[in-house]
Amino acid sequence: MKKAVILMGGLGTRLRPFTIHTPKPLLPVLNVPFFAYQLDLLKRFGIHDIVLALGYRSAHFKRMIGNGRKWGVRFRYSLEKTPLGTGGAIRKALPFLNGPTVVLNGDVLSDMHLSDMFHLHSGKNAEATLALFPVKDPSAFGLIETDSEGRILRFTEKPSPDEITVNTINAGAYLLELSFIRSIPPDKNVSIERDVFPVALKDGRALYGFVHRGLWTDIGTLKSYWQVHKDLLHKISNFPIITAKQIRRGLWAGKKTVIHPDAKIDGTVLLGEGCHVGRAVLKGAVCIGNGSQIKDGAQITDSLILDRTTVHSSCRLDHCLIGNHCHIQESSILGPGDVVADRSTVGPFAQRFSYEDDAT
Ligand code: GTP
């Protein structure tokens, strides 16, 4: 288990508008590009040779992450002219591989014990081992059922209530033998989850499930992208790749960030590098990206603001997600669920009107 493939070629449509300019794996989570968490995991298990399976915006990746030296790993790029799906992308990476390979979806964050997974895999002579994660409400997921030895018995897509006999879902991480990867049809768009694994199961091949019970989260949707921020804000100190320093309880800030002494900060707040916070109020879970500015009188509650955005004076932001390089102009009010795309200008005095207010 020396090499890994990270699947990074999806369009990330569910995470628009943020993925219009930035591919999903490069979006920041707590001001660190998402894929850096995956590199951190792989390095912990001695995996430094990483194939990036790319299509959409591959030039953006190359420019931003280069050959991997900066991250202490070596990248090889496997480039698709047209998207090959998750299965086709893994098959295309075959020339770069030489043994059992870890495959990660590019939008999953976990602290999975890859060595334990490998022990199960080799102990059972598996051709493919799928990481499984137990969820509270399995109704919205494809379920994977195993026997007591971990051998996969069944894949159930979109289960009806009486089909929900287990709560383990595909966690988006696999260990695959070369023979398994070779058996995926080349140069075809196939999904590993929907096409390859179910057929392999029918053919009686040795597929196993490794149940992971630690941290697991994905950033596939706007909701989960925000949720991962809220969850990890409380665990910043578990992630050495986050370089911001703790200023006091509940407040972290990156280098060269200036906070006005009269700013009121009450909650769990992360400020990036080179930010400027005036006499503003920051409440609840708040993450503000590098180079962003919060002017006097602004009030921000439970919100995510990406890089180099300015929230001008007297704005109120409550439960919203704001992209890079935005201007939220003076006295604008944004409310729960509002999402502002990169490079947008909102306001001044923008707000939602309420039909109820007129009903006198
Ligand atoms: P949505 O458009 O929002 O569904 O997102 P997505 O395109 O990323 O699809 P999905 O979340 O199902 O993909 C899971 C993982 O596989 C992500 O890390 C994707 O980047 C990756 N992926 C999906 N399709 C392809 C593909 O055709 N090629 C490659 N290389 N990766 C893919």
Domain CATH for 190:
3.90.550.10
Cβ atoms of 4 and 203 closer than 8 Å: no
Cβ atoms of 304 and 321 closer than 8 Å: yes
The structure's pTM equals 0.91
DSSP at 26: G
Q: What is d(CA 145, CA 75) in angstroms, rounded to the nearest whole number?
A: 34
- Total domain count, the chain: 2
Considering the domain boundaries, does residue 233 fall inside one?
A: no
Q: Which of 86, 130, 191 to mutate to test ligand 1, by most ligand atoms within 8 A of the CB atom?
A: 86
Q: Which of 19, 107, 110 to mutate to test ligand 1, by most ligand atoms within 8 A of the CB atom?
A: 107
Q: Roughly what angle, to the nearest 10 degrees, separates helices 34-44 and 114-123?
A: 60
Among the candidates 170, 192, 223, a domain finishes at 223
Q: 145 and 95: one domain?
A: yes
Atom 23 of ligand 1, nearest CA residue: 10
Atom 28 of ligand 1, nearest CA residue: 9
Considering the domain boundaries, does residue 291 fall inside one?
A: yes
Adjacent-strand bridge partners of 248: 251
305: CATH: 2.160.10.10
Active site residues per annotation? 158
Q: What is d(CA 215, CA 232) in angstroms, rounded to the nearest whole number?
A: 10
How many degrees, rounded to 5, is the angle at CA 67 between CA 64 and CA 68? 80
> What contacts 297, CB < 8 A, 6 or more positions away?
278, 279, 280, 313, 314
Considering the domain boundaries, does residue 111 fall inside one?
A: yes
* Burial of residue 161 (number of CB atoms within 10 Å: 0-12, 13-18, 19+): exposed
- Residuewise pLDDT in 10s, the chain (360 residues): 689 999 999 888 999 999 998 889 999 999 999 999 999 999 999 999 999 999 877 888 888 888 888 889 999 999 999 999 999 999 999 999 999 999 999 999 999 999 999 999 999 999 999 999 999 888 878 899 999 999 999 998 777 778 788 899 999 999 999 999 999 999 999 999 999 999 999 999 999 999 999 999 888 899 999 999 999 998 888 888 998 999 999 999 999 999 999 999 999 999 999 999 999 999 999 999 999 999 999 999 999 999 999 999 999 999 999 999 999 999 999 999 999 999 999 989 999 877 776 655
Residue 72 phi/psi, 5° resolution? 75, 25
Atom 27 of ligand 1, nearest CA residue: 85
Cβ atoms of 34 and 219 closer than 8 Å: yes
Quote the ligand 1 centre to 246 CA distance (angstroms): 35
Q: Is 333 helix (H, G, I), strand (E, B) or coil?
A: strand
Q: 16 and 117: one domain?
A: yes
Q: Is 276 helix (H, G, I), strand (E, B) or coil?
A: strand
356 sits in which H/E element: helix 355-358
End-to-end CA distance of the chain: 69
Q: 23 and 68: one domain?
A: yes
Domain that holds residue 278: 243-356
